[in-house]
Structure 1
Amino acid sequence: MSAKSRAPRGRRTALTAGAAAVAVGLVTAGTGTAFAGAAPAQSEGTSLAATAQALGLGANEKLVVKDVIKDADGTVHTRYERTYAGLPVLGGDLIVHRAPSGAVKDVTKAVNATIKVASLTPKLAPPASGQTPRQVIWAADGTPVLAYETVITGTQADGVTPSRLRVITDATTGKRLFQRETIEDFAGTAGQAPTPQRTAALGTRALEAASASGTGTGYSMYSGTVRPNTLKTSKGYQLDDTERGQAKVYDFKHTEDGAGATLFIDQDNVWGNGTPYDNQTAAVDAAYGAAKTWDFYKDVLHRNGIRADGKAAASNVHVAKGYDNAFWDDDTFAMYYGDGKRDAHPLTSLDVAGHELSHGLTAATAGLEYGNESGGLNEATSDIFGTSVEFYAKNSKDIGDYLIGEMIDINGDGTPLRYMDKPSKDAHGSADYWSPEVGNKDVHLSSGVANHFFYLLSEGSGQKEINGVKYDSPTKNGSKITGIGRDKAIQIWYRALTTYFTSTTDYHSARTGTLKAATDLYGASSAEANAVNSAWAGVNVKP
């Protein structure tokens, strides 16, 4: 996505600061236990220093624990960020895999280069645009350099989706080394909308003290009649799901900056009427999507919320006028939904909710950079989890499929936005197979390689009909692949994301990570591990 540099509108509120604060907690995650935030393992400075020394890191390098996963057999996977002389090392993240004895079994690094720069004194002044730059060590390209990181806020090319463009500039030469959009949207270049500027964070509205929780009746647009959890107050029932981390839904009232936005409140606990012309209908869909995504994380991934800390993100509906997109903002820890063309097709369908909320999961784990091949993997991860949420929900009105955005009519002709069995069917340029140029594509298009891989791993190649939808998935090498089932495929992807992917993982590294994940879960010579290898070969990702 291109981005325009404009003066930012709206500041982060107290909700942002609270959501961004790292919480300490633990939850069973996948095959092990995940500790959110500053984990108890190796939390003391001496242990971190000893680990850095054992890894052969330099005297100027320090490690900061991001999260820890402990397997059932006692194997521990600790994810670290790195600093050099007190400066953040971008692309310096690594994962240490320790045996139950404490011995290091393996180390997965975002970059293998030694972190060292000739001087910590910049030769150039920082760029004048954007927020106050910070000095960093940029290592993601393989050669560490002293750099400035600047965040430029404004709006993206559609005029509505906010932009928080992260720019890395060489502090010696002034060369722009990298730029990344940190607002992660659903539609990419396919979602075009009118004029305004950016949206703001929500959540500091004063509310009446709650007196009781309950279950309402909601008439959604896409998922039929649902039962949202609500909270009763003296002012009425709030869309506040206390059973799922206090997931709240706010009304943006068709503004771009959220001025005057309010939490949804209803007197009789009956919500919406199933059409976009009732203001509550989109809120019902958003609440349902957030609930099903939370339940999927808990029941299938064994994860207690996006950040594994038991706290839910906010959902914001009716963003702008005619806004044909939706996006996740990790800084505000919140979801934002437009109402689509003519405000008639809210982007609140189940797979969109699962997709966008899963951007938060990726940020909390691998932190895949939103550009190059890692950006494609980031987008594909959200498509994979969004699709899996849809299958998990078993909703008769929105039956599980491998089509992305099939309910929201974003193309205006009833077709889906993306296809997982053969991504190029979208006619927007999505990649079916890996090539050396795939990382130059928009991340919503380069994601096709991983989406295709996941479909092949789950369902296999060739013709198939699933839940009334016909698929015909080819392979680059002409091979015939037998799928292992979506349930196993999603466990392999989640294990790889949380245990082996780093910020700079590309497609070939993703192959390595998913093979390790399949080996962990099913064995090195298992049918599942062999299928992972075959599916990657089918999309032209080879050793």
Structure 2
Amino acid sequence: MRSNTATPRKNSLRAAALVASAAMVVIGVQSGSANASAEKVAGGQQLALSAGQRAAAVQDAQGGAASTAAKIGLDADKEKLIVRDVVKDADGTTHTRYERTYEGLPVLGGDLVVHQKKNGARDVTKATDAKIAVPSTTPSLAPAAAKKSALSVAAGEKTAKADADRAPRKVIWAAQGKPVLAYETVVTGVQKDGTPSKLHVITDANTGEKLFQDEAIETGTGTSTYSGNVSLNTTKSGSGYTLEDGSRGGHKTYDLNQGTDGTGALFTNSSDVWGAGRQKAGVDAHYGAAVTWDFYKNVLGRTGIKGDGKAAYSRVHYGNGYVNAFWDDECFCMTYGDGENDAHPLTSLDVAAHEMSHGVTAATANLRYSGESGGLNEATSDIFGTAAEFYANNAADPGDYLIGEKIDIRGDGSPLRYMDKPSKDGRSKDYWSSSLGSVDVHYSSGPANHFYYLLSEGSGSKVVGGVSYNSPTYDNSKITGIGRDKATKIWYKALTTYFTSTTNYKAARTATLKATADLYGATSNEYKTVAATWTAINVK
């Protein structure tokens, strides 16, 4: 290995093995070429806002939030809107995403998006259509009782070292049914596989009934290794170099040295040639973060996970024998274990792109990680993980629609998941059914993954990139795909402008059709194909 340049931030090659992995989340299927498509689209194409432009748009929208609340029919005395994001389209349409409060309390499941056209016409997408109102914001249940109940839930999940050091907070729970006064308790600890736990438990503040639970740490597991040479952006520091990417928001990669807290030590090296010993995992993570950043920026016009130009950071060598990797939105970081016997770090590009896409989902629709919305959350990470891997165009790991094909989690060479026919893994679902919401989110993601494959490539038997696929349809219809690039842009547009925290499969159909109409027109072939593809997975 040798240095490519002598500049402070430089690309250097490393011949280290890229370690793949990601079991329950993961690896990738990829999106078209390394360059954004030059195709002509309708005025619904999103504008690429700089971090400063986005911040100004958010500030401006917040200044008019009270007026907006009144215009869309909220209770001006009790309900307030808090701006989370602003997306602008080429035709002048603005999509403003809001959280909501009621008498000063956060309304969980009350988020909404206001779509305003240049001529002033307005439409609203809501996570719930229920009127936000409760008889009283004074609870019958003491916070201590909610904490005790939450700790009991954590015990049932076999969470080790469970503790609720933050006091339960009062909220309005509106994500399911009639809004009620509730407590949200966050229980920290360690999950059964060694993953940190941040379990959010929602308890009725008057009856003590558990209403909902959600694990905030989203994970992937598996072991394996693949190799390839990659380029890195590093930073000159004194007489040496650090794994800090100044061209991508200042992303840093740290060595936890088998610890489980803090950031550990920033990777440093006397030369700008990386890949010796413990550096290998750091190089893989640093590379994965760079590719994911570039994919979102160059293909989808998003600068950084939150769209604000700021980088996350990566931590490698987490724990001992930890066979997992996870995204934590609170630290805004990606963490990788070293696998069984600390022999195979889970630092592949697939894991990075999948997990960091959980961060994008959290910053936009914030799909709840339970039921059908949880399946759509997982599928979103599979879809963009797939797109990012195709974008990388890495000869050592060519793009395909086989999720986790490199990690050999079953020991028989089979992939973790299949997008062309999800049920081939023995657990995922090919089509929507009324029972889908009770399936684990990693398998209820199957119909959405199937939708993405069909929309991209079409139905039936075919070979793509040297891999054979045979994708069926629920109604035996024939689907002709519109291409991976368009399918990726449609899903992203829907996620960022029409999905909410409670979006289910039926609502996802509506959202993607709206997104397609924005991008390609309501009479386009793309629109007709999106509609037919949802029908092909039994979402009507």
TM bin, normalised by shorter chain, reads 0.7 to 0.9
- Counterpart of 1:181 (choices 215, 238, 247) is 215
Q: Secondary structure at the match of 1:416?
A: coil
The alpha-carbon deviation at position 326 of structure 1 amounts to 0.9
Q: Secondary structure at the match of 2:300?
A: coil
Q: Counterparts of 1:30 and 1:285 in 2: how far apart (Å)?
A: 33
Q: Equivalent residue for 2:57?
A: 39
- CA distances 1:160-200 after superposition (whole Å, capped 9, x unpaired): 1111011110011110000111111124xxx69xxxxxxxx
Q: Counterparts of 2:247 and 2:48 in 1: how far apart (Å)?
A: 21
Q: Equivalent residue for 1:165?
A: 199
Q: Flag the 1:297–1:100 CA change in 2: closer, same or farther, 3 A.
A: same
Q: Equivalent residue for 2:298?
A: 299
The farther-off stretch of 235-244 and 123-132 is 123-132
Q: Equivalent residue for 2:85?
A: 67
- Counterpart of 2:251 (choices 240, 247, 250) is 247
Q: Counterparts of 2:61 and 2:168 in 1: how far apart (Å)?
A: 29
Q: Equivalent residue for 2:235?
A: 231
Q: Does the 8 Å contact 1:222/1:285 carry over to 2?
A: no
Q: Equivalent residue for 1:151?
A: 186
Q: Does the 8 Å contact 1:70/1:77 carry over to 2?
A: yes
Q: Secondary structure at the match of 2:234?
A: strand
Q: Counterparts of 1:324 and 1:37 in 2: how far apart (Å)?
A: 38
- CA distances 1:457-476 after superposition (whole Å, capped 9, x unpaired): 00111111112211111111
**Equivalence map 1:347-386=2 (5 Å):** 347-386=346-385
Q: Flag the 1:167–1:66 CA change in 2: closer, same or farther, 3 A.
A: same
- CA distances 1:92-121 after superposition (whole Å, capped 9, x unpaired): 0001111102331x1100000110001111
Q: Does the 8 Å contact 2:260/2:318 carry over to 1?
A: yes
1:534 aligns with 2:538: no
The farther-off stretch of 345-354 and 324-333 is 345-354
The farther-off stretch of 524-533 and 500-509 is 524-533
The alpha-carbon deviation at position 36 of structure 1 amounts to 4.4
- CA distances 1:176-235 after superposition (whole Å, capped 9, x unpaired): 000111111124xxx69xxxxxxxxxxxxxxxxxxxxxxxxxxx9635111211111125
The alpha-carbon deviation at position 322 of structure 1 amounts to 2.2
- CA distances 1:278-324 after superposition (whole Å, capped 9, x unpaired): 31111111111111111101110011111111111111111122222
- Counterpart of 2:495 (choices 494, 497, 500) is 497
**Equivalence map 1:286-325=2 (5 Å):** 286-325=285-324
Q: Does the 8 Å contact 2:58/2:85 carry over to 1?
A: no
The alpha-carbon deviation at position 42 of structure 1 amounts to 4.2
The farther-off stretch of 506-515 and 95-104 is 95-104
Q: Flag the 1:327–1:36 CA change in 2: closer, same or farther, 3 A.
A: farther
The farther-off stretch of 299-308 and 220-229 is 220-229
Q: Equivalent residue for 2:25?
A: none
Q: Equivalent residue for 2:39?
A: none
Q: Secondary structure at the match of 2:172?
A: strand
Q: Secondary structure at the match of 2:177?
A: coil
Q: Equivalent residue for 2:459?
A: 461
Q: Secondary structure at the match of 1:228?
A: strand
Identity %, equivalent residues: 64
**Equivalence map 1:90-239=2 (5 Å):** 90-104=108-122, 106-126=123-143, 127-129=146-148, 130=164, 131-158=166-193, 160-187=194-221, 222=226, 224-234=228-238, 236-239=240-243
Q: Counterparts of 1:178 and 1:308 in 2: how far apart (Å)?
A: 29
Q: Counterparts of 1:248 and 1:287 in 2: how far apart (Å)?
A: 8
Q: Does the 8 Å contact 2:225/2:406 carry over to 1?
A: no
- Give the aligned residue type for 2:297: K
The farther-off stretch of 247-256 and 381-390 is 247-256
Q: Does the 8 Å contact 2:241/2:270 carry over to 1?
A: yes
- Give the aligned residue type for 1:413: D
- Counterpart of 1:89 (choices 107, 120, 124) is 107
Unaligned stretches of 5+ residues in structure 1: 1-28, 193-219
Q: Flag the 1:435–1:102 CA change in 2: closer, same or farther, 3 A.
A: same
Give the alignment's TM-score, normalised by structure 2: 0.85
Q: Equivalent residue for 2:327?
A: 328
Q: Does the 8 Å contact 1:402/1:455 carry over to 2?
A: yes
- CA distances 1:366-400 after superposition (whole Å, capped 9, x unpaired): 11111111111111101100010000011111101
- Give the aligned residue type for 1:173: T
Runs of 4+ off more than 4 Å: 33-38
Q: Counterparts of 1:57 and 1:494 in 2: how far apart (Å)?
A: 29
- Give the aligned residue type for 2:86: V
The alpha-carbon deviation at position 76 of structure 1 amounts to 0.8
Q: Counterparts of 2:317 and 2:526 in 1: how far apart (Å)?
A: 43
Q: Counterparts of 2:434 and 2:113 in 1: how far apart (Å)?
A: 27
Q: Secondary structure at the match of 2:359?
A: helix
The alpha-carbon deviation at position 258 of structure 1 amounts to 4.9
Q: Secondary structure at the match of 1:450?
A: helix
- CA distances 1:442-491 after superposition (whole Å, capped 9, x unpaired): 11111111111101100111111112211111111111111100000000
- Counterpart of 2:66 (choices 36, 40, 49) is 49
- Counterpart of 1:266 (choices 256, 266, 269) is 269
Q: Does the 8 Å contact 1:93/1:110 carry over to 2?
A: yes
Q: Equivalent residue for 1:78?
A: 96
Q: Equivalent residue for 1:257?
A: 261
Q: Does the 8 Å contact 1:224/1:397 carry over to 2?
A: yes
Report the number of matched residues.
475
Give the alignment's TM-score, normalised by structure 1: 0.84
Q: Equivalent residue for 2:475?
A: 477
**Equivalence map 1:416-455=2 (5 Å):** 416-427=415-426, 429-455=427-453
Q: Does the 8 Å contact 1:38/1:66 carry over to 2?
A: no
Q: Does the 8 Å contact 1:232/1:238 carry over to 2?
A: yes
Unaligned stretches of 5+ residues in structure 2: 1-43, 149-163
Q: Counterparts of 1:38 and 1:464 in 2: how far apart (Å)?
A: 48
